[in-house]
Amino acid sequence: MGEKGSLQNKTYWSTLRKDIARQKWIYILIAVPLIYYFVFKYVPLWYSQIAFRDFKSVRYGILTSDWVGMENFREFVTSHYFWSLIRNTLMYSIGKILVSLPLSVILAIAIYECRHNKLRKVVQTLAYLPHFLSWVIMYGILLSLFAPGDGIINDLIKFFGGQPIDFLTNAKAFPWLVIFSDAWKEMGWSAIIFIAALMGIDVSLFEAAMVEGANSWQRVKYITFPAIKPVIVTVLLLKIGTIFEAGFNQIFMLYSPAVYSVADIIDTWVYRQGLLEGRFGLATAAGLFKGIIGMLLLFASNYFSKKFSDSSLF
Amino acid sequence: MKKKNKQVTSVAVKPTAADRGFNIVVDIFMVFILIVIVLPLWSTLTLSFRPVTFIGTYTEGMFLPPWEWSIAAYESLLGNNGFLIAFWNSIKILVEGVICALILTIPLAYGLSVKDLRGKKLITVFVLIPYIFNVGIIPVYLLIAKLGLTNHLQSVFLPVAISTYNCIIMRSFFEGIPNELRESASIDGCNELQILLKIILPLSKAIIMTIGLYYGVAFWNDYFRPMLYLTRDYLRPLPILLRNILLAAGMNEFVEARAFGNAPVEAIKAASVFLSAIPMVIAYPFIQKYFTKGTLLGSVKG
């Protein structure tokens, strides 16, 4: 190494030292959160190697059981329930996107276009509220709405001459209950991001359109909707990135053995196998399987979101 | 939004039939949404006030006049020791959880927002990896067992005390604060800790309230972690108690609901639903103005 190189090296180290000394408080501040990440996020990552082991119980130590290679993965992927779990997971997440996304876009446009200030404010405030209710509370509300004998929904069905249905235990009705109860809970909250985009529209566009003789329908078609189209694309792409998240908290609360065949998603199955049946290795393998696919999807959707709409998650 | 309405109507163009039709469609849709949102809440609320003597369907119960309502369900819940203990546990989880989460999230978000921090890329990657790659519930369950946190209230919020998503939103907010403020404070002799406490935090009330609300809602509503980690009766928070009351629908499982006196079982269930939602509903209007601001910021910049 020449004279020059060592000089550069020296300045590099001394500026580094200076920078660190100057910002020592920041390193002190983030030290505890980083230790937190290490303990609560990275140690579980390390523990996930039990997916490759024949893990029996915590009592015998977590990382001392025998290696079994890909055996747990093989069992999960080749089992008869594998495709039904994948199908259910995708059915719920895609169904929710198909129902909730258009609903929240229409709601956002309606809130934006509504001329009655009071009506608009009441709807806006109430539409956000269900987002803050837990799925346990939602279950309580759904019980009273969908009670098989005398709930309101079944009163309506009877009024129109149909047969009353027990939505919570009927395998045909249950998926609809899951998808629409989620839409009810989240549509107002998901509309916020679209309302934000609408508020950014330049009002002079509307004035020009009015002078040109465009009516309200045409304004929505040519100004309002195009303004939120890129946001819709972004939201859609990000949702595709989390398509394996079908809503564990919701389904776990609503389902029962009667509807397992249509209700069981990967997460609920992992819970039952791992924590009720004690098959930790198999359940962890299924969780890892889902994690890897989820990661790939997230990268893909993030890539396309960057490409198409210039915004991304990270 | 208000501004736009005013300006549009100020333009002297007569509304056509199509415009009027449009407005009517919008209004009908808004009223429809209003009914769809209110109806389930109203049906549950009236159910909770249903007297034992009432015979009729849930639909008929919705039109029961208020002077025939009974508060027996609320009386028996609030007079029940189990319910009060559960409520208290939930409050403890909420307060401890939100404080802990904010104390961990704010410094990390601040550190990641400092432009010229050495090793920032590395730290960001370190934080993002577990966010992108989710290992599932079993390894975390083993960790909680290993740490001996089982049957401690902290096990409910510690595994999720930093949400990377919330941290990213907060970082985006901090990044939006003009750098000159930091620089001038540091010329005045403030160190980074003082800058955070005296300059950044007072400017960040909206985002702290918003993120605090997100954490608070998540901790208050969580039933899964308490179900996994809290097995002792006296540690049960509200969602677990509520879940037990609601699931006690089978023939032999009324034990839980019966313990609550002589109001109708349905009324007890509905009343416990409302009592569990109350803190959220009370806090909601106060924080609403903050969260619309904060959420917009996060979503636009995210």
Q: In this predicted complex, what is the ipTM? A: 0.89
Return the pLDDT at B302. Answer: 34
Contact call for A140 and B272, based on CB within 8 A: yes
Q: Residue A273 domain-assigned?
A: yes
Q: Whose CA is closest to A249, among B226, B75, B275?
A: B226
**Is A71 within a domain?**
no
Residue A296: predicted pLDDT: 94
Residues 46-65 of B with CB under 8 A from A: 47, 56-59, 62
Q: How far is B28 from chain A (nearest CA, A)?
A: 10
Q: Each residue of B125-134: pLDDT tens digit?
A: 999 999 999 9
The answer to whether domain B75-301 has CATH 3.60.110.10 is no
Output the domain CATH number for residue A246.
Answer: 1.10.3720.10
User: Cα dihedral sign for A310, B2, B6, B8?
Assistant: positive
Is residue A47 domain-shared with residue A190, that is, in the same domain?
Answer: no
Mean of pLDDT values over B243-254: 63
Residues of chain A contacting residue B56, judged by C-beta atoms under 8 Å apart: 150
Provide the pLDDT for residue A197.
Answer: 87
Judged by CB atoms closer than 8 Å, whether chains meet at A43 and B280 is answered as: no
- B77 to chain A: which residues are within 8 Å by CB? none
Residue A298 and residue A174 share a domain: yes
**Helix (H) and strand (E) counts for chain A?**
16, 0
Q: In terms of domains, do A278 and A165 share one?
A: yes
Query: Percent of chain A, pLDDT > 90?
Result: 55
How far, in Å, CA of A270 to CA of A280, rounded? 9
Binary contact (A215, B295; C-beta < 8 A): no
Minimum Cα–Cα distance from B116: chain A residue: A19
- Whether residue A256 sits in one domain with residue A202: yes
Q: With 70 as the cut, is the pLDDT of residue B6 above it?
A: no
Residue A198 lies in a domain: yes
Name the least confident of A42-46, A53-57, B88-92, B106-110: A53-57
Query: Do A93 and A30 fall within a single domain?
Result: no
- The answer to whether B118 contacts A133, with C-beta atoms less than 8 Å apart, is no
CA distance B47 to chain A (A): 8
Residue with tokens 């009330």: B205
Q: Enter the DSSP assignment of A52.
A: G
> In a mutagenesis test of the A interface, which of B60, B114, B138, B278 is the best target, namely the one with the most A β-carbons within 10 Å?
B138
If one compares B108 and A204, the residue with the highest pLDDT of the two is B108
CA nearest to A44 within chain B: B139
Would you place residue B139 in the very low, low, confident or very high pLDDT band (cuts 50, 70, 90)?
Answer: very high
Same domain? For A91 and A210 the reply is yes
For residue A26, the enclosing domain spans 3-52
Based on the fold, state whether residues A152 and A38 are members of the same structural domain: no
Does residue A213 fall inside a structural domain? yes
DSSP letters spanning A86-154 = HHHHHHHHHHHHHHHHHHHHHHHHHHHH---HHHHHHHHHHHHGGGGS-HHHHHHHHHHHH-TTT-HHH
Looking at the fold, whether A94 and A33 belong to one and the same domain comes out as no
- Let me know whether A40 and A92 are in one domain: no
What region does B236 belong to: left with phi over 0, alpha with psi -120 to 50, or beta?
Answer: beta
Residue among B8, B33, B127 minimizing CB distance to A123: B33
Inter-chain CB proximity B140 and A117 less than 8 Å: no
**B266 interfaces chain A, CB cutoff of 8 Å:** yes
Asked if residue A86 belongs to a domain, the reply is yes
**Do A39 and A99 share a structural domain?**
no
Indicate the domain borders of chain B.
16-70, 75-301
Establish if A67 belongs to a structural domain: no
Q: How many CB pairs under 8 A join A and B?
A: 297
| pLDDT, mean of residues A272-295 | 93
Please identify among residues 181-240 of chain B the ones whose CB lies closer than 8 Å to any CB of chain A: 191-193, 196, 217, 220-224, 228, 239
Residue A235 covered by a domain: yes
In the structure, what pLDDT confidence band is assigned to residue B22 with cuts at 50, 70 and 90? very high
Q: What is the 3-state secondary structure (H, E, C) of chain B?
A: CHHHHHHHHHCCCCCCHHHHHHHHHHHHHHHHHHHHHHHHHHHHHHHHCCCCCCCCCHHHHCCCCHHHCCCHHHHHHHCCHHHHHHHHHHHHHHHHHHHHHHHHHHHHHHHHHCCCCCCHHHHHHHHHHHHHCCCCHHHHHHHHHHHCCCCCCHHHHHHHCCCHHHHHHHHHHHHCCCHHHHHHHHHCCCCHHHHHHHHHHHHCHHHHHHHHHHHHHHHHHCCHHHHHHCCCHHHCCHHHHHHHHHHCCCCCCCHHHHCCCCCCHHHHHHHHHHHHHHHHHHHHHHHHHHHHHHHHHHHHHC
The reply to whether residue B143 touches residue A44, judged by beta carbons under 8 angstroms, is yes
Measure A170 CA to nearest chain B CA, in Å.
17
Mutate to test the interface with B, among A18, A34, A41, A211 (most CBs of B within 10 A): A41
DSSP bridge partners of A53: A67
Q: Say if CB A198 and CB A108 are below 8 A apart.
A: yes
Is there a domain that residue A58 lies in? no
A163 and A270 both lie in a single domain: yes
- pLDDT value at B301 more than 50: no
Note whether B11 contacts A: Cβ–Cβ < 8 A: yes
Is the pLDDT at B239 greater than 50, yes or no? yes
Q: CB–CB of B75/B262 below 8 Å?
A: no
**Whether A30 and B107 lie within 8 Å, measured CB to CB:** yes
The verdict on A20 and A137 lying in the same domain is: no
Of A96-100, A155-159, B119-123, the poorest mean pLDDT is in A155-159
pLDDT for residue B137? 93
Contact residues, chain B, for A291 at CB < 8 Å: 133-136
Residue A223: DSSP 8-state: I
Which of A142, A111, A145 is closest to A128 using CA atoms? A111
Residue A162 or residue B106, greater confidence: B106
pLDDT in tens, A59-77: 777 778 888 889 999 999 9
A133/B107 CB distance under 8 A: no
